[in-house]
Structure 1
Amino acid sequence: MSDQKLHLVIGGRVSDPQHLEFTDLKAMDFVGVFPDYASAEEAWRSAARRTIDDAEMKYVVVHLHRLLQPDMLKR
């Protein structure tokens, strides 16, 4: 079993900056998939900084490895 921990960085316009309900899924910004949290966080920071003045834009890091291999959480 692989110990690779993939992370996805995505962003888009949200209906409420306090929540994660994206308003237009077709217009999502898929920043990329990264092999570790550190590189995903760096990409997230870069994307978030580009839209810092737009309160309705939100970027997130999704822990893909937790979805693909939920048994990793038990370790």
Structure 2
Amino acid sequence: MSGQETGKQLLHLVFGGELTSVSGVEFKDLDALDIVGIYPNYATAYAAWKAKAQGSVDNAHMRYFIVHMHRLLDPETDAA
């Protein structure tokens, strides 16, 4: 992945795992987290997230998340 053809690179992390409760965000086993990948923009991260989320639909405790890494790296920038 070389990044976007145009525009600023905005990194996103997609990861997931089994939660201890469907109403929280505490993971059952941190060693078993599924690090899907780091993506150069939200659109590709969303596509990866959607594929993983739909693939785990039979397990109510399994959740996947998108982390806006670019906001952590440069908190002064409020880019989408």
The TM-score, its normalising length taken from structure 1, stands at 0.89
Deviations along 1:20-41, one digit per CA (max 9) or x if unpaired, are 1111111000000000000000
Name the structure 2 match of 1:53. Answer: 58
Q: Matches of 1:24 and 1:66 in 2, distance apart?
A: 26
Superposition CA RMSD, Å: 1.3
Give the paired residue count. 72
Runs of 4 or more, structure 1, over 2 Å off, are none
Segments of 5+ residues of structure 2 without an aligned counterpart are 1-7
Segments of 5+ residues of structure 1 without an aligned counterpart are none
Name the structure 1 match of 2:76. Answer: 71
Name the structure 1 match of 2:30. Answer: 25
The TM-score, its normalising length taken from structure 2, stands at 0.84
Q: Identity of paired residues, percent?
A: 46
Deviations along 1:12-68, one digit per CA (max 9) or x if unpaired, are 000112221111111000000000000000000000111101001000000000101
Which moves more between the two structures, 57-66 or 10-19? 10-19
Judging by fraction of residues, say which structure has more helix.
1
